[in-house]
Amino acid sequence: FFFPHKNKNFGAYTQIMDTIRFFHSLGTYLLIYRGQDIKRKQ
């Protein structure tokens, strides 16, 4: 759904949330990848 931007801060807020979500998924991926890499070396 869509609702109008009453203030310009909302656009920045969603941008920040998208950035946080991106880094969170990236960090999770790196953790899983490194975990598999460590298991391979043992």
Residue scoring higher pLDDT (33 or 39): 33
Per-residue pLDDT tens digits for 15-36? 899 999 999 999 999 999 888 8
pLDDT band at 7 (very low <50, low <70, confident <90, very high): low
5 has pLDDT over 60: no
pLDDT band at 4 (very low <50, low <70, confident <90, very high): low
Environment class of 41 (CB within 10 Å of its CB; exposed 0-12, middle 13-18, buried 19+): exposed
- DSSP state, 6? S
41 has pLDDT over 80: no
